[in-house]
Chains A and B, each alone.
Chain A
């Protein structure tokens, strides 16, 4: 199956600093990438949809100035948590969409996640 990588896998930072998380599709070009946040023992919460060369679409309640998304190429999207605070501590997961909307062949592949801890 297709592989999606995330870097770093875990990061610990001080309150007030910014953290950048990279998401790469390794063996396919992703038309769209998605960013999720997950709390312990809970489901995934979609934060934003990222399309190459255009502005990200944020879900309701997600601060776009807080969570900056850049989709520079068809294989790379980055999420920057600006001025991080302890409440931003969470597991952040990206996914990359392989396909162009054909039902059954349009699949999302998930990265391994990034554990962010803000002290």
Chain B
């Protein structure tokens, strides 16, 4: 059973377009993290959201944690080819001693 449903799995867009990636769950998470991974490398942490309803911005990236802490979204404004990569959401639960539950991932390709 996949506890974190991430969508879409593939996204191919033109430079300058906006996009949103979603992570949804029926479970409550104490925190949710977003990572970006490039081929042949490990995931790099982009942001951690902790509070229900929290919104964090990182340049052109906006992250939101749902009020009930069951879902999250990543919005990219004016995507650039350098944004290309695999985006992963991962949730932590209070009793999991740091273990993360990962979504399926979203492969984003931004064409120049």
Q: Does B100 contact A (CB under 8 A)?
A: yes
Q: Determine whether the beta carbon of B40 is less than 8 Å from that of A108.
A: no
**Dominant secondary structure at the A interface:** strand
Cβ contact of B50, chosen from A6, A34, A43, A103, cutoff 8 A: A103
Smallest beta-carbon distance A25→chain B, Å: 13
Q: Does B44 sit at the interface, judged by CB under 8 A?
A: yes
Per-residue B-contact encoding for A6-22, CB less than 8 Å = 1, 0 else: 10000000000000000
The interface on chain A, measured as residues whose beta carbon lies within 8 A of the other chain's beta carbons, has a size of: 29
Interface residues of B in 77-96 (CB under 8 A from A): 86, 88, 92, 94
Distance in angstroms from A104 CB to nearest chain B CB is 4
CA distance A34 to B41 in the complex (A): 16
Contact B48 A107 (CB under 8 A): yes
CA distance A32 to B92 in the complex (A): 14
Nearest chain B CB to A99 CB, angstrom units: 8
Q: Which of A69-77, A79-87, A111-119 contacts B (4 or more CB under 8 A)?
A: A111-119
A101 at the B interface (CB under 8 A): yes
Please tell me the size bucket of the interface on B. Answer: 20 to 34
Q: Which of A90-105 contact B (CB under 8 A)?
A: 91, 93, 95, 97, 99, 101, 103-104
Q: For the complex, is B8 an interface residue (Cβ under 8 Å from A)?
A: no
CA distance A2 to B105 in the complex (A): 23
Indicate if B62 sits at the interface (CB-CB under 8 A). no
Cβ-defined partner of A106 (8 Å) among B6, B43, B92: B92
Identify which of B33, B92, B103 gathers the most chain A CB atoms within 10 Å of its CB: B92
A91 to B98, CA, bound (A): 22
Alpha-carbon separation in the docked complex, A91 to B100 (Å): 18
Are A112's CB and B99's CB within 8 A?
Answer: no
> Hey, which chain A residues are within 8 Å of B64, CB to CB?
none
- Indicate if the CB atoms of A110 and B42 lie closer than 8 Å: yes
For the complex formed, measure the closest distance between the CB of A59 and the CB atoms of chain B, giving whole angstroms: 9
Residues of A contacting B31 with CB < 8 Å? 103-104, 106
Assess A113 versus B42: contact at CB under 8 Å? Given A104-B31, A106-B92. Answer: yes
Question: Are B42 and A108 closer than 8 Å at their CB atoms?
Answer: no
Contact B97 A32 (CB under 8 A): yes
Q: List 19 A-B contacts (CB under 8 A).
A: A1-B45, A31-B98, A34-B99, A42-B105, A43-B6, A43-B102, A43-B103, A43-B105, A49-B97, A91-B40, A93-B42, A101-B97, A101-B98, A103-B50, A103-B94, A108-B45, A109-B45, A110-B45, A115-B40
